[in-house]
Amino acid sequence: MDIESIRSICTQLPHVTEDVKWGDDLCFMIGDKMFCVTNFNPPLKVSVKVTDEEFAELSNSPGIIPAPYVARYKWILIEDMSRFNDKEWKHYVVQSYNLVKAKLPKKVVAQLK
């Protein structure tokens, strides 16, 4: 998995915007809320939100840690890009998108349509 593959998964989802934050992070957002963050400089690392049930298991597996600053919101940081296959990458990115979108205010969701 590389940054362009992650970008492709993210930008195929409806109403996704991109922004560079903190000088070195490419952020993918729905309704101005981040759902996927990756860095530009190698080695590539990606952060996504996961379900409460998945968080403990994933954040304690090899190549994955609780995401700095946002772990309390059930975000993980994947440090080993080979940890997931393409199908799993798509699952976790889309799931993160859906988890973040579900928490958006109704007014923001209405503006997306």
Question: What pLDDT score does 17 carry?
Answer: 95
Question: What pLDDT score does 108 carry?
Answer: 86
The Cβ of residue 73 has, within 10 Å, a number of other Cβ atoms equal to 12
Question: What pLDDT score does 24 carry?
Answer: 86
CA–CA separation, 99 and 85 (whole Å): 21
What is the per-residue pLDDT across 64-102, written as a single tens digit (0 to 9) for each?
Answer: 999 999 999 999 999 999 999 999 999 999 999 999 999
41: Cα separation from own chain's centroid = 17
Higher pLDDT, residue 1 or 80: 80
Q: Is the pLDDT of residue 1 over 90?
A: no
Question: What pLDDT score does 100 carry?
Answer: 96
Structure tokens at 61: 């597996």
Q: Is the pLDDT of residue 62 over 80?
A: yes
DSSP secondary structure of 63-99: TEEEPTTTGGGTEEEE--GGGS-HHHHHHHHHHHHHH
What is the per-residue pLDDT across 10-45, written as a single tens digit (0 to 9) for each?
Answer: 999 999 999 999 888 999 999 999 999 999 888 999
Tell me the CATH number for domain 3-112.
3.90.1150.30
Question: The whole model's pTM is what?
Answer: 0.92
Residues 6+ apart with CB under 8 A from 64: 58, 76, 77, 78, 79, 80, 83
Question: What pLDDT score does 11 carry?
Answer: 95
Domain residue ranges of the chain, discontinuous segments joined by +: 3-112
Question: What pLDDT score does 43 carry?
Answer: 92
